[in-house]
Structure 1
Amino acid sequence: MSLDDLQDDVQGEYSDLDEVLSVDTDRETRNELAMLLAALDTDDPDELVRRGIHMLFQSAVETGNLDFHLRSEYDVTYDEYLLGATMDTYNDGGVGSGVGPDDPDDRRYQF
């Protein structure tokens, strides 16, 4: 698979989310969610689910777990996805943006 395949899959998954997203919870998950709702003083479980997804995504990026899975499935990294080209293409001069992984003006997804 390739960068184009990854971009197509991300766009497809994004458009399907509103139609298919429903989360069933088990007892442990409900207990943990109830604890977080009480501790974080909110009545909106959906907000905690959003926060949880953000935390999981950040953790996967920071630990390299996301890159491992992307490399295994699509043969690209998250940086390459953000750049819109593989590093091979970039290093071969195929990307004319002038912005690269070592460029201080790089507008990567930052935490």
Structure 2
Amino acid sequence: MTLDDLSDDVQAQYSELGEELAVSLDRETRNELAMLTSALDPDDPDELVRRAVHMLFQSAVETGNLDFHLRSGYDCTYDEYLSGMTFDEMTGADQFPQAQEKDDRRYQF
């Protein structure tokens, strides 16, 4: 898959998500959300869920976990996605391919 495939998939997922998302909670998640709601006292528990998504996303970016999964599935990184071009396109390496000849003569005297 490519950078274009990733862009298409992100747009498709964005459209599918819409404005609201119904999420089922298991006991552990419900307990943790109740604790956070009590401690942080947000106007709406939905705000904590939004914050959690932001924190998970930031953590995945900072640790390289997002790039690992993007490279595995789409052969690109988050930076490449943001710029809209691959590293090879940015550096021009795809425009001027180098000969793949092995030149051992340069080490001979």
TM over 0.5: yes
Structure 1 Cα separation of the partners of residues 27 and 43 of structure 2: 19
Tell whether 2:49 aligns with 1:40: no
- Compare CA radii of gyration and give the structure with the larger one: 2
Other-structure match for 2:62: 62
Residue 18 of structure 1: CA displacement?
1.9
Name the TM-score, length of structure 2 as normaliser.
0.81
Q: Which has the higher contact order (CA 8 A, sep 6+)?
A: 2
2-side partners of 1:51 and 1:7: how far apart? 24
Residue 53 of structure 2 aligns with which residue?
Answer: 53
Post-superposition offset of 1:42:
1.8
Number of matched residues? 94
1:72 has 2:72 as partner: yes
Range that drifts further, 19-28 or 74-83: 19-28
CA distance in 1, matches of 2:60, 2:88: 24
> What's the offset of the Cα at 1:21?
2.6
Calculate the TM-score normalised by the size of structure 1. Answer: 0.80
Q: In 2, distance between residues paired with 1:54 and 1:13?
A: 17
Structure 1 pair 84–48 and aligned structure 2 pair: CA distance change class (3 A): same
Q: How does 1:1-111 map to 2 (within 5 A)?
A: 1-18=1-18, 21-92=21-92
Runs of 4+ in structure 1 off by over 4 angstroms are: none
Any stretches of 5+ residues in structure 1 without a counterpart?
A: 95-111
User: AA paired with 1:65?
Assistant: N
Identical-residue share of aligned pairs (%)? 72
The alpha carbon displacement at 1:93 in A equals: 7.1
CA distance in 2, matches of 1:58, 1:75: 21
Kept after mapping to 2: 8 A contact 1:80/1:86: yes
